[in-house]
A and B are shown apart, each in its own frame.
Chain A
Amino acid sequence: MAIKDYIRERFFPHMWCPGCGHGIVLNSLLRAVEELGMSKNEIVMVSGIGCSSRISGYLDFHTLHTIHGRALAFATGVKLSRPELNLIVPMGDGDALAIGGNHFIHAARRNIDLTAIVMNNRIYGMTGGQFSPLSGCGVMATTAPFATVDQSFDVAELAKAAGATFVARSTTYHVQQLTKLLREAILHEGFSVVEVLTQCPTYFGRRNKQGGAVEMMKWFKDNTTPVGSKAKQENPALIERGIFVQKEMPEYCKAYDQVIERAQKGK
């Protein structure tokens, strides 16, 4: 199927700013879905609130645009009711890890078969550029006029510790890798997390003097390295890209089928 056939053109133009990385993530995601040969009817997309969450409206899947931070909780209800569906949950960094942090770690702990995409631009874009739990120290934001003193999460480490069975990271610069990782995440049976470093030139780039979209993407190129590379040993400040965790564990909906079996045996 042509990529554009996955899109609800009726609802374009989209509302993202010029240079925003979210469209690149959308593109990579659709290529992954297309390469997997999936039909539009077998995919459910559940999102929360924020710039990234608007991705669901533009796609011709079953789309559920919910409330801030709770996309994974809604998705859990859909998935447990209809385990045969493929659920993709795009979230922003604030949506997934500030207000939605509890749902994030518990979805990981349950190992329920959802594909979580954390579109990390290190800022709250929709509300106009406040710092997020992934901004890190020394970042300028509308709520940090004297620079942040807050430490940030490492999404991959957090997901790993919480029990996610597939954890990966890429960037909007590395679109080939991103498509491949998204494909693997969708195929993975269990809770999968793909963190995508994506640029917000409007609020993060401008205020932190990182230039426009091109300069910010170049920064991703220059400051990331494949997982386990020699470059990382020489320069620990580099951010690793690739697959961090890929393991098999009992999936939640399948495990619940055993509960039903046990309950019915004792009937």
Chain B
Amino acid sequence: MKPNIKFLQGNEACVEGALYAGLRFFAGYPITPSTEIAETLSARLPRIGGKFIQMEDEIASMCAIIGASLTGNKVMTATSGPGFSLKQEALGYAVMAEIPCVVVNVQRGGPSTGNPTHVAQGDVMQARWGTHGDHAIVTLTASNHQDVFAMTVEAFNIAETFRTPVILLFDEVVGHMREKLVIPEPGDIPLVERLRTSVPGGVDYHPYLPREDGRLPMSDFGGVHRYNVTGLFHDMWGFPSDNPGVVHGLLRHLVDKIENNVDQLARYKEFYLDDAEVVLVSYGSSARSALHVVRNRRARGEKLGLLELQTLWPFPAGIVRAKCARARSVVVVEMNTGQIMREVKAAVEAPEKVFLANRIDCSLITPTDIRNILRLIQGRGV
């Protein structure tokens, strides 16, 4: 069959991935640089009988998708920095009540209104700790449109598998750049459908009683089982509890279900790492410049390699440690003041060999920027 090839924006590649994964409900609010996701879905969803709603604000969009997910839909919202800040409380509700959903943040410059039309990667830590209270979260990213598509499908699969919100942390360059996307045939990428309870209607269903394998089967809200859902600490009935044993057990469960599966959740790509003396660690659009430098240097016989992270949270510390073990130096390439660099330093055996190549002026980091840092590390001056 003729391959389905498209030339489109990263934001549109995200839409294609979401629809491939089975998205049926989207609520959003206009914000640069993610608006194309809402625009495209307002046309695409009703064609397949899905629902699109433009809500009154960012908070409402997050709340609406949670409600729609509970009833049995695959759901998504999309935003950028300021909107991502506004969604944090409701995001925490989805963590606490264990409601699958996908939240896209196409990063722009910040803090505050910052630089809406230009690129940055400053929301990495906000993705991890933006909502209050101890919790775990899954965050994926991508550097090109084929991977934007794949990671979007992964996000839906992980959300359903772990009953958790998943954050897609893209950036303005990836979101707005146009390049080729080959849309896989149905079935090429496995999809995870919602695990629904086998408890028949009319029989007591416990929404928060794990099966033997730890998973919590769901029952479509408003369907055959009546149950309570709350953002308070709750027991297996979903009813509020402040019993210390119940509270401890639930928080442990919420954190462990993610943190105990770091390896299963780790997505990354590696380039020329086998004999690399200098390892670049990067993600998102920064990784494109990093890969350019690696390929140029390899052509000149220098032993550079790239570890491109696609899962940012839970941070794949074991993989980073292993991949950087033989490197003389590690250079983290990112467009912030070192948010992933700190994680890399904590992961590797020799943190003093970790350096930062960054830009914080809302301009895409260039191969020259990275080359300058490499020359400094090598004692050759800029």
- The reply to whether the CB of A41 lies closer than 8 angstroms to some CB of chain B is yes
The chain A residue with its CB closest to the CB of B63 is A73
Of the stretches A58-66, A166-174, A182-190, A241-249, the one at the interface is A58-66
Closest residue of chain A to B27 (Cβ to Cβ) is: A77
Tell whether, in the assembled complex, residue B68 and residue A78 are in contact, meaning their CB atoms are under 8 Å apart: yes
Most B CB atoms within 10 A — which of A40, A60, A103?
A: A103
Contact of A67 with B231 at beta-carbon distance under 8 Å, contacts A76-B55, A85-B222 already known: yes
Question: Does any Cβ of A come within 8 Å of B53's Cβ?
Answer: yes
Judge whether B59 is part of the interface by a CB distance below 8 angstroms.
Answer: yes
Let me know if B47 and A267 touch, CB within 8 A. Answer: yes
The answer to whether the Cβ of B51 comes within 8 Å of any Cβ in the partner chain is: yes
- Is A135 an interface position by the 8 A CB rule? no
Instruction: Return chain B residues, CB-CB under 8 Å to A256.
Output: 46, 51, 53
| A106 located at the interface, meaning its Cβ lies under 8 Å from any Cβ of chain B in the complex | yes
Answer yes or no: A259 CB below 8 A from chain B CBs: yes
Chain B, interface SS category: mixed
* Residues on A with beta carbons closer than 8 Å to the beta carbon of B53: 76-77, 80, 256
Bitwise, B24-52 to A at CB < 8 A (1) or not (0) is 01010000000000000001001101010
Whether a CB of chain A sits under 8 angstroms from the CB of B256 is no
A28 contacts chain B at the CB level, 8 A cutoff: no
Min Cβ gap A107→B in Å is 9
- The answer to whether A74 touches B226, judged by C-beta atoms less than 8 angstroms apart, is no
Residue B64 is within 8 A (CB to CB) of chain A in the complex = yes
Given the contacts A260-B46, A263-B43, A65 and B67 also touching, CB distance less than 8 Å? no
Give the distance to chain B from A43, nearest Cβ to Cβ, in Å. Answer: 9
- Nearest CB of chain B from residue A33's CB, rounded to whole Å: 14
A44 contacts across to B, CB distance below 8 A: 221-222
Binary interface encoding of chain A residues 68-80 relative to chain B, with 1 for a CB under 8 A from any of its CBs, else 0? 0010011111111
**Which residues on A sit within 8 Å (CB–CB) of B226?**
40-41, 60-63
Count residues of B near A (Cβ-Cβ below 8 Å).
41
Contact A73 B55 (CB under 8 A): yes
Would you call B239 an interface residue if the criterion is a C-beta within 8 Å of the partner chain's C-beta atoms?
A: yes
Known contacts A81-B68, A81-B71; is-contact A64 B229 (Cβ 8 Å) = yes
For the complex, give the distance between the alpha carbons of A81 and B44 in Å. 17
Assess the B59–A64 pair: CB atoms within 8 A: no
Does any Cβ of A come within 8 Å of B57's Cβ? Answer: yes
- In this assembly, does A102 line the interface, its C-beta being within 8 Å of a C-beta of chain B? yes
- What are 12 inter-chain pairs, A to B, with CB distance below 8 A? A57-B240, A67-B231, A76-B55, A77-B27, A77-B53, A77-B75, A78-B70, A78-B71, A79-B67, A80-B53, A81-B25, A264-B49
Alpha-carbon gap, A74 to B71, bound state (A): 11
> Given A44-B222, A65-B230, A66-B231, 19 more contacts at CB 8 Å?
A44-B221, A57-B230, A63-B226, A67-B63, A67-B90, A70-B63, A74-B64, A75-B67, A77-B63, A77-B67, A78-B68, A78-B71, A78-B221, A81-B71, A81-B72, A106-B55, A256-B46, A260-B49, A267-B47
- Chain A residues contacting B240 (CB-CB under 8 Å) are 57, 65
Shortest beta-carbon distance from B96 to chain A in Å: 10
* Chain B residues whose C-beta falls within 8 Å of the C-beta of A70 in the assembled complex: 59-60, 63, 90
What are the 6 tightest A-B residue pairs by CB atom distance, in nearest-first order? A77-B67, A77-B64, A73-B63, A263-B46, A73-B60, A106-B56
The answer on a CB contact under 8 Å between A102 and B222 is no
